[in-house]
Amino acid sequence: MGDVPESDVVPLAELVTFTNGRPHPPEGTGLPAYGANGVIGTSGRGNAGPHATVVGRVGSYCGAVHYSAGRCWVTDNAIIATPRAGVNPRYVYYLLKRLDLNRFRIGSGQPLLTQELLNRLTVRRMSRREQDAAASVLGALDDKIAVNARIAALTDELVRARYREVASGAGASVPLGELGSLVRAHVPVERIPRDGNYIALEHMPRRRLWLSTWTGTSAVTSAKSAFEPGDVLFGKLRPYFHKVGLAFVEGVASTDILVVRPKREEYRGWLLAALASDEVVSYASAVGDGTRMPRVKWPDLAGYEVPWDEAGARAFNAFVEPLARRVRAAIVESRTLAALRDALLPRLIP
């Protein structure tokens, strides 16, 4: 480890034991199932104990690191990192994040991280007291981020439930095209600001109303579609992935995303919930062009009839607006906390 004295260095294998996950999570919903890039479903049994760190083993997420507070199932696309006796479990998670494990991968076509590679790594020695202090500070930040994520998830469920309730009592229907219009703001790459916000399909979580993730535009190399806060983004490529959400910032989006703007402010909540409903997504999946990479077109979506009640839609929007503002505040706070955590990590775990 460079000029670090040998007495201050310890093999990673003395702190952590590594085991490969196993395929085919047992059926059930009791525990989360982890793949190379986090939770991919549920499992009826676990193969990793509480406080395990999950490391992506193969593919593009090779070296990605996730922490599971409770028991979980880890697939064979990942490695289970279990702290040895006397080692703070959460410190192990932050230590492995700090190591940027992707740089140790082997292979090009199918990147791979092995137990042997991990066991050969050395790290700076830290006392249990130092481990506890680092894990406490970094963990407090991540715990607050997790609370904010839970707020977003609960409001998502609440909005969907209220929409289903109001829609079930609606006495009429209306084409989606009367509630929103497609934004055709094509932005050539040379006109995209280098300090802007960019949303691609990979930044849109499945079946989540709120778009909490975006990146910078510095690496964008092709034309994109402009969007504004309050627009609804609909993933038109492989719509069965159910990627539909409300934008909280302005920026540019992948051309594989439809940008839909409400025709009236008081229609925004209904437009969002309708476009993100199972019925609309199922319809979009059925009419999409192509077999391997189906894409839905806006004219097809615009003509689809959704339940409608003018007064109910206005009341629904009044219900959604304060919830969306609360979620936006939580997202902004979480991004600030994450930046602080990332800045502190190399200082607390050198």
**Nearest residue to 328 (alpha-carbon basis) of 229, 256, 231:** 229
Q: Flag the least confident range among 91-105, 106-120, 324-338.
A: 106-120
Q: Which residue has the tokens 């504004």?
A: 228
User: Residue 17 has what pLDDT?
Assistant: 96
pLDDT per position as a tens digit, 183-240: 999 999 999 999 999 999 999 999 999 999 999 999 999 999 999 999 999 999 999 9
Is residue 287 within 8 Å of 247, Cβ to Cβ?
no
Distance CA 311, CA 156 (A): 22
Element (H, E) at 143: helix 128-168
- What residues pair up with 279 in beta bridges, in sequence order? none
Distance CA 248, CA 213 (A): 10
Question: For the whole model, what pTM was predicted?
Answer: 0.88
Query: With 70 as the cut, is the pLDDT of residue 296 above it?
Result: yes
Helices (DSSP H) in 201-241: which residue ranges? none
Is residue 200 within 8 Å of 221, Cβ to Cβ?
no
Element (H, E) at 23: none
- What residues pair up with 174 in beta bridges, in sequence order? 306
Q: Flag the least confident range among 46-55, 100-109, 136-145.
A: 100-109
pLDDT tier for residue 1 given thresholds of 50, 70 and 90: low
Query: With 60 as the cut, is the pLDDT of residue 2 above it?
Result: no
- Rounded mean pLDDT of the chain? 94
pLDDT (mean) for 50-61: 93
Give percent above pLDDT 90 in the chain: 91
pLDDT tier for residue 26 given thresholds of 50, 70 and 90: very high
User: Residue 112 has what pLDDT?
Assistant: 92
Is residue 194 within 8 Å of 217, Cβ to Cβ?
yes
Query: With 70 as the cut, is the pLDDT of residue 7 above it?
Result: no
Phi, psi of 172 (to 5 degrees): -145, 180
Query: With 60 as the cut, is the pLDDT of residue 141 above it?
Result: yes
pLDDT (mean) for 274-280: 97
Distance CA 106, CA 118 (A): 12
